Amino acid sequence: MLFSALPKAQGLYDPDNESDSCGVAMITDILGRRSHSIVVDGLTALEHLEHRGAAGAEPNSGDGAGILLQLPVELFAGVVDFDLPAPTADGMNTYAAGICFLPQDEDSRADARARIESIAAEENLEILGWRALPIDPDGAGVGATALSCMPYFAQLFVAAPERCGGIDLDRRVYPLRKRAEATDDSEDEALGVYFPTLSSRTIAYKGMLTTMQLPQFFPDLRDDRCLSAIAIVHSRFSTNTFPSWPLAHPFRFVAHNGEINTVRGNRNRMHAREAKLSSELIPGDLSRLSPICPRDGSDSASFDQVLELLHLGGRSLPHAVLMMIPEAWENNTTMGPARRAFWQYHASLMEPWDGPACVTFTDGTVVGAVLDRNGLRPGRWWRTIDNRIILASESGVLDVPSAEVVAKGRLEPGKMFLVDTAAHRVIP
């Protein structure tokens, strides 16, 4: 595993048996109003989930913390020293950006960057520029263990020649990211690359940090120009696992509390399907994207990788989530025929990814959460008078006076809670 102290399988130890248990929260402006206050609220909620995370013998080397936001285009416009293309007529970003974990060694880093730029050219993508991402490990007080495997942080900006945007651009950059991250078992891990996100819609700031360290480590998060209408945050407790920089949450679409206990079978089924994968929307031969879910990732990472494929392959994100986390429908005699047909059809395409698990997710427009059919991970939500939704694995992540709460509830097994910030509505 890149940027990790995770050892290889040896003796009685097998990294495939690792799992984690965590705290998760999402803050959303229902009306889609981008503001720095949503980012601040997300970071505040994250700090209040400190007890759900963990650290080892060093209290300043955390198991992981992170935040997933809408792409902060206002910030990037003011900090990069190259031109960024204008959005489309309907407001979609026409460039993708993402943080890239690169080797600390200068020569290896140069090789990795050259490899990324070469793949981009092969995929007919234009590299707009690189930004040396500001970090402050000393100010954040990052511990020695986390520092020993910390990557170099760069930010990549890329566009398509035809200046497409939104999910169309994300489909174009998906092969770039998958190919850049691909590693061979015989390859020196120092040449490895990892993108927490590479998207025109969202960006993740995360690492092997504690919840308190995250905003100090990434100065971008404290910049008033960092605006978003959505924030998903996560505090990781790697129960019997080795922490690492890439395995901190959120991933590209999800942050997850719990574990996927069927993950070995799910991965095996995905590997068996890879030879038959095809898509009219994702360009080129999909065999170059294999493996879809490498075995060195966590259960959450594998879930996110399969969800990404389903979404970019043409399904809406909520649709793809429901394919992977169905409700208990087989013996439900009160279920209507149309709903039963939905589950029956998708059962032939995808086996359940069973937890216990509470999964929050976003594509930058819709944001939601779902509890798997076991129903053993809590999730509570509040709607406030100023049209915010707060959803978390427990109460009290934000101090909201009861007079400002207009509705509240909890996640139910197999049921989805969804907010559409474009349509300005909640879909409970």
Strand order in the sheet with 96-102: 96-102, 152-159, 126-132
φ, ψ at 337 (rounded to 5°)? -65, -35
| Selected catalytic residue, list 22, 226, 293, 358 | 22
Tell me whether residue 22 is one of the annotated catalytic residues: yes
Tokens of 105: 């060694």
Q: For 410, what's the count of Cα atoms within 13 Å in the CB-facing half-sphere?
A: 10
In angstroms, what is the C-alpha Rg of the chain?
20
Cα-based distances in Å from 284 to 94, 172, 175, 236, 280: 21, 10, 9, 36, 9
| Whole-number Å distance between alpha carbons of 113 and 58 | 33
Spatial distance between the Cα atoms of 25 and 257, rounded to a whole number of angstroms: 10
The identity of residue 284, as a single letter, is: G
Measured CA to CA, the distance from residue 260 to residue 302 in angstroms comes to 10
Across the beta sheet with 405-410, what order do the strands follow?
Answer: 202-207, 65-70, 230-235, 23-29, 388-392, 380-384, 405-410
Looking at residue 50, the DSSP 8-state letter turns out to be G
The string of DSSP codes covering 184-253 is: -TTS-GGG--B-S--BSSEEEEEES--TTTHHHH-GGGG-TT--BSEEEEEE---TTS--BSTTSSP-SS
Residues with a catalytic annotation lie at: 22
